[in-house]
Structure 1
Amino acid sequence: MTVSFVETIDTHTLGEPTRIVLSGFPPLRGRTLKDRSRDLLHRHRAMRQALMWEPRGHVVMFGAVVVPPADPNADLGLVFMDGGGTVDMCMHGTIGAVTALVETGRLELGRDGVAVVDTPAAPIKVRIQRSGARVTAVELDGVPSRSIATGLRARLGRAKVLYDLAYGGNLIAIVRGSDLGINVEARNFRALVDAGMEVKTQAQAAWATSRSRPWPEVVSALIYAPLGKGRYRDLVVFRDHSVDRSPCGSCVSALMAQLHSLHRLKVEQWIECENLLGLAFRSRLVERDRELIPQLSGSAFITGEHRFRFDSRDPLRHGFQLA
């Protein structure tokens, strides 16, 4: 019999979980964080699934492995994962990880409350707001974001639906709820998920035939509705009908870039984008070196600290999923 342990802290950011892996995970190989993300994907599938899938996780569990940064100016590195694989950037996960590490004394900050987090997409700057020992908000600069394409077509049943592609750390398909004929409300959850998954699937199929593909996949579909006065509501669908419980920082970044390209959002104009629970990220675009940089603020809460046990006799030690 062999027994091993993995230690984590769990958080939620506006309802979306992040499992932050502190110790016990096999070392990730690679010079860059992008290399280490690929290593996690290809060499550590069993451990990733063990932490993300049942019985320790669930269908929308998300994770971040704390690693040494590759960038010499960064304070820590994060490599992101979920039950289906890895992603290059996760803003809700970064907010959750930074909150947990600061509140538990594992990440020390200067008086300015600023840290640099290395990620597979790029190093990003974060600013922490505190009230005593509690982190009340984390504001972060995302990666340069931009519109990729507008007016692309997907077919849902007999109807043709227009969607856009934009990059906000991951490649996102964006569609208005009104174009789907669905109000972006909790009571329409299942219809929104089914429509979003179909848009994502068709967007990925079309993207796979593109001659120029700087990013391998369309990670998510974002369905949104303008609420007026700089407020939006969204629902984000990613792998296997999974739904981000938060508004999704990478998706909000992509949405802002797309709105800016359509002259519907000005640089430095703040917006709020809420999830179906009514909880919002506050965000804006700033221009830096002729690039659009999203700035986003949100809060997270620690939900638990875990010491997971892996027993070689356990037939389900590597996790399982039921459709």
Structure 2
Amino acid sequence: MLSSRILTTVEAHAEGEPGRVITGGLPNITGASVFEKMQNMQALHDDIRLLMLREPRGNPGLCCNALVPPCDPDADMGFIIMEQTEYPPMSGSNTICVVTVLLETGILPMSEPLTNLTLEAPAGLIKVRATCLNGKVTAVEFRNVPAFAMHLDAIIDVPSIGPIKVDIAWGGMFFVLADADAIGLSLDPDNGSEITRVSEALLHATKEQLPVVHPENPNITGPTLTNLWARPTDPETDGRGAITISTGPFDPDHPNEASGILDRSPCGTGTCAKMAVLHARGILKLGQTYVNAGPLGTTFSGRIIEETFVGPYPGIVPSLAGQGWICGHSNYTLDPSDPFPKGYTVGDMW
């Protein structure tokens, strides 16, 4: 078999959201921090992201992670997160997948009943506590980067829909958040096509009308995801969320044809962004827990562990907890004669 590239991966998911982890076959990715390594990968090795996430090796709902040596001496491992249209600085579900893979495959040593480790994400250091039993990671809880609300109750004019009241918040990524009930939109997963259509139109209208820049890193801009929320239906939870991840470019002349896909999990960074909004409104207090349900009914549990500032913005330091599962081990190859070295997308599902 002739191959110009061989990538070894572990397939995993966190509360339903798939997060492939590349454990071998990467080129040398340079940088003085994992954020710089992410920039280096984006500039020089983006073909790996496309190869892994697009068909025939990937699918629209898939995320991918590249394990890299950390740059911070306090970190045990670094990882770069890859999604269909961007390199997120942070992701809760992908963090949970990475921790599960690192410990259950023995890349990092597991201690039972608790394993403490530190990961370096592009957004910074992530302190992790993994609960372990009989070689299995049964829960992952981590201290996320500070979250904050940048705008509350802004009005965005969305073409073909009308004015929508939104919040913009950072939870490790920038989200535009809106009340699905106020829009008249059901968050039933069977309504996924309409959820993603409205979400993509809202996202790109917000990008045009109210773009944001992280106050401590001007290279991080947004918003890049939509977070529609609704009241809980399960008494054991505090709310529901439907996060849409873009899967293709947006054409302003055809806003109803924008492509996106629902995050299958409750979305870790989206949960933290929602908590920051609730805290900014005085609804969620220091020490309180917020249990967020995703489209599949699975949950992430967040808690405010500190109050802080991010630049001029009052914010929180949230923790987030959930579980991951390994579901496969793979070797992906690229034949030099393959006509699709960067994969492909087709309009029927992208």
Both structures adopt the same fold (TM-score exceeding 0.5): yes
Equivalences for 1:160-179 in 2 at 5 Å?
Answer: 160-179=163-182
Equivalences for 1:93-132 in 2 at 5 Å?
Answer: 93-110=94-111, 112-132=114-134
Q: Which amino acid aligns with 1:150?
A: L
Whole-Å separation in 2 of the counterparts to 1:312 and 1:133: 39
Question: Does residue 36 of structure 2 align to residue 35 of structure 1?
Answer: yes
SS of residue paired to 1:202: helix
Question: Does residue 231 of structure 2 align to residue 226 of structure 1?
Answer: yes
Q: Which amino acid aligns with 2:306?
A: E
Number of matched pairs: 323
Whole-Å separation in 2 of the counterparts to 1:196 and 1:288: 30
State the 4+ residue runs in structure 1 displaced beyond 3 angstroms. Answer: 109-112, 207-214, 288-291
Q: Of 203, 206, 212, which aligns to 2:206? A: 203
SS of residue paired to 1:278: coil
Question: Corresponding residue for 1:63?
Answer: 64
**Comparing 129-138 and 290-299, the one that deviates more:** 290-299
Q: Of 308, 320, 326, which aligns to 1:296? A: 320
Equivalences for 1:1-323 in 2 at 5 Å?
Answer: 2-110=3-111, 112-156=114-158, 157=160, 159-208=162-211, 214=218, 215-227=220-232, 231-240=238-247, 241-287=260-306, 292-323=316-347
Whole-Å separation in 2 of the counterparts to 1:108 and 1:83: 31
- TM-score by length of structure 1 reads 0.94
Residues 123-161 of structure 1: CA deviation (Å, up to 9, x unaligned):
010100112111111001100011100111223435311
SS of residue paired to 2:202: helix
Q: Which amino acid aligns with 1:182?
A: L
Q: Which amino acid aligns with 1:140?
A: F
Q: Which amino acid aligns with 1:243?
A: L
Change (3 A) 1:320 1:167: same
Whole-Å separation in 2 of the counterparts to 1:22 and 1:188: 36
- Equivalent residues of 1:115, 1:126 under 8 A apart: yes
Change (3 A) 1:210 1:124: closer
Whole-Å separation in 2 of the counterparts to 1:265 and 1:77: 32
Shift of 1:165: 0.4
Change (3 A) 1:159 1:98: same
Whole-Å separation in 1 of the counterparts to 2:226 and 2:214: 21
Whole-Å separation in 1 of the counterparts to 2:161 and 2:295: 28
Question: Corresponding residue for 2:251?
Answer: none
CA RMSD of aligned residues (A): 1.9
Question: Unpaired runs of 5+ in structure 1?
Answer: none
Identity %: 26
SS of residue paired to 1:143: coil
Question: Unpaired runs of 5+ in structure 2?
Answer: 248-259, 310-314
SS of residue paired to 1:72: coil
Whole-Å separation in 2 of the counterparts to 1:122 and 1:238: 22
- TM-score by length of structure 2 reads 0.87
Q: Which amino acid aligns with 1:264?
A: I
Whole-Å separation in 1 of the counterparts to 2:212 and 2:265: 31
Whole-Å separation in 2 of the counterparts to 1:15 and 1:155: 33
Whole-Å separation in 2 of the counterparts to 1:255 and 1:10: 28
Whole-Å separation in 1 of the counterparts to 2:287 and 2:124: 22
Q: Which amino acid aligns with 1:33?
A: V
**Comparing 36-45 and 135-144, the one that deviates more:** 36-45
Residues 201-232 of structure 1: CA deviation (Å, up to 9, x unaligned):
11111244879784322121000012276511
Residues 284-309 of structure 1: CA deviation (Å, up to 9, x unaligned):
11115665111111001111111111
Shift of 1:238: 2.1
Change (3 A) 1:70 1:211: closer
Shift of 1:91: 1.1
Q: Which amino acid aligns with 1:9?
A: V
**Comparing 78-87 and 246-255, the one that deviates more:** 78-87
Whole-Å separation in 2 of the counterparts to 1:86 and 1:179: 31
Shift of 1:272: 1.0
Shift of 1:188: 2.3
Residues 42-63 of structure 1: CA deviation (Å, up to 9, x unaligned):
1112221011111010112111
Whole-Å separation in 2 of the counterparts to 1:117 and 1:288: 22
